[in-house]
Amino acid sequence: MPVSEALRHLIEDPGFWTGDATAGPDPRELRVTFPVIGGYALVLDIDPATGERALGLREPASSEPVQLGRAPAAGPYPAALRWWELDLCARVIAWEDPRLPHPGLVVALLSPFAPTTADDDEPSVAAFREAAYRSLRREVTPPAAAGPEQAPLPLFASEDWWPAPRGASPQVLDEAAIAALTRPARAMLEVRGGSRFPRDGLADLVRRAAAHLSHLPGQGWYADTRPLARQILDSGDLRPIPDLLGALTEAGCDHPTVLDALSEPLVPAEACWMVETLAGAEPGTLLRRHL
Same domain membership, residue 261 and residue 194: no
* Residue span of the structural domain in which 241 resides: 214-290
Q: Is the pLDDT of residue 3 over 90?
A: no
Output the pLDDT for position 5.
Answer: 84
Between 48 and 21, the more confident residue is 48
- Given 129, 164, 199, the domain boundary residue is 199
Q: What is the pTM of this model?
A: 0.86
Same domain membership, residue 218 and residue 114: no
Provide φ and ψ at 142, rounded to 5°: -60, 145
Between 56 and 49, the more confident residue is 56
Whether 151 maps to a domain, the answer reads no
pLDDT > 70 fraction of the chain, expressed in percent and rounded: 89
- 255-274 pLDDT tens trace: 999 999 999 999 999 999 99
Give, in degrees to the nearest 5, the angle at Cα 185 between 179 and 191.
145
Same domain membership, residue 269 and residue 187: no
CB atoms within 10 A of CB 120: 18
As a whole number of angstroms, the distance between CA 256 and CA 261 comes to 8
As a whole number of angstroms, the distance between CA 49 and CA 70 comes to 15
Whether 163 maps to a domain, the answer reads no
pLDDT > 90 fraction of the chain, expressed in percent and rounded: 59
Between 101 and 71, the more confident residue is 71
As a whole number of angstroms, the distance between CA 223 and CA 277 comes to 12
With H, G, I as helix, E, B as strand and everything else as coil, classify residue 19. coil
Whether 144 maps to a domain, the answer reads no
Whether 165 maps to a domain, the answer reads no
Provide φ and ψ at 35, rounded to 5°: -65, 135
Mean pLDDT (whole number) for 144-157: 68
Cis peptide before 48 (omega within 30 of 0): no
Q: Is the pLDDT of residue 98 over 90?
A: no
Q: For all residues of the chain together, what is the average pLDDT?
A: 88
